[in-house]
Amino acid sequence: MKTVFVGLSGGVDSSVSAALLKEQGYNVVGVYMKNWSRDLPGFDCPWKDDYQDAKRVAVQLGIEFKMFDFENEYFNRVVQYMLDGFTAGITPNPDIMCNQEIKFKLFLDAAVQQGADYIATGHYAQIQRSNGPPELCMAKDTNKDQTYFLYRVTADALKRTLFPVGGYTKPQVRELALKYGLATAAKKESMGICFVGKVGIKEFLTQFLPPQQPGAIKNQYDMNIGTHDGAVFYTIGQRHGLNVGGGLPYYVTGKDMQKNEVYVTTDLNDKKLWSDQIKMTSMHWINDVPKNKDLVVRTRHRGPLQKVELLTRKSDDSWLLQLVEPTRALTAGQSAVLYQKNVCLGGGIIC
């Protein structure tokens, strides 16, 4: 009998994953990953509730339950990465780094050391296993597909990974949770930053970065139209939270961290908002470098898949994507993830 360590987050997706694996005859061990436990002003960290929900599900299923404490590593590898990125004026994605560094590295290694043949999570994704190396494929529920966040996972990690809910839709997963009578069946999905529940990014950054200096907000005519409370809090394409009133909505087109200025426009056709090329760094391919054929790219979670005309390697640390059609609000620090049909190939960080 194969042993699977399932990452039980206290949510419905991972709970159903554990139930499905047990039903399939695996020896299932539930693991709660303690990545974050700090309370922030006005917000209580939900980790204790999530831990208890995960433990209840393990008891219901009659499986062994463990807790892995990755809090120090998480801060150093994920949170600090995020803080450094915002300080540099880009918009990093902590969920992607969490998957790369914690779930499919630390968790995988710890599980294997303790006798696991596989790990499993509640991600909406699928793995195609044939004669060659495993391929990361989109989930059946394309609206919930999470391959965008998983593109930096290695082929070696995929060999030891299972995604039990990847072949189901979210409504089907809810139905399964009710069928199994799981304690998390009606639990709502967590929103906000991946590791601190309902806290918004601005509130979080305020707690960990030095006090930010106000500066000018300038429109497309280089006119001062308002004052921002810290350039680190703004991202390309942002519309809300600018506090510049009246008339047409404004969109962030860029910022200068040295001058401490944020640039906006009311013109949705402003050239600064649109790009037909994507410059990328820190490339990661799950398997081999793909051929320039039938490539599509996604530049944000749930963003549309866009056709790629050409993928070119410019140097060891620089790649260029030529798009068939221009795309709006490319954001440095976010990821461009490449696909061929439903197979996620890998991608890089937009720069």
Per-residue pLDDT band at 194 (split at 50, 70, 90): low
CA angle (161, 290, 336) in 5-degree steps: 75
The reply to whether CATH 2.40.30.10 applies to domain 273-350 is yes
Question: What is each CA distance from 71 to 29, 36, 118, 317, in whole angstroms?
Answer: 21, 6, 23, 31
- Catalytic annotation present for 98: yes
**Which class is domain 212-265?**
mainly beta
CB burial string 241-262: b at 16+ within 10 A, e below: ebebeeeeebbbbbbeeeebbb
Classify domain 3-180 at the CATH class level.
alpha beta
As a whole number, mean pLDDT of residues 179-188 equals 93
List where CATH 3.40.50.620 sits in the chain: 3-180
Q: Is 137 a catalytic residue?
A: no
pLDDT, residue 195, reads: 57
How far is residue 28's CA from residue 317's CA, in Å, rounded to a whole number? Answer: 41
Distance, CA of 105 to CA of 319 (rounded, Å): 26
Show the beta-strand stretches assigned E in 22-176.
27-34, 64-69, 118-120, 126-128, 135-137, 161-162
Tell me which residue has tokens 């009710």.
178
Contact 247, 266 (CB under 8 A): yes
- Calculated CA dihedral for residues 149, 304, 91, 340, nearest 10 degrees: 50
Domain with CATH 2.40.30.10 in the chain: 273-350
Q: What is the model's pLDDT at position 192?
A: 55
In tens, the pLDDT along 68-86 reads 999 999 999 999 999 999 9
Provide the 10 A C-beta neighbour count for residue 322: 13
State mean pLDDT over 11-23: 97
Tokens representing 203 are 């509130």
Of the listed 98, 137, 344, 351, which one is catalytic?
98
Task: Determine the pLDDT at residue 203.
Answer: 86
**Positions of CATH 2.30.30.280 in the chain:** 212-265
pTM summary value = 0.95
Which one is catalytic: 45, 137, 194, 344? 194
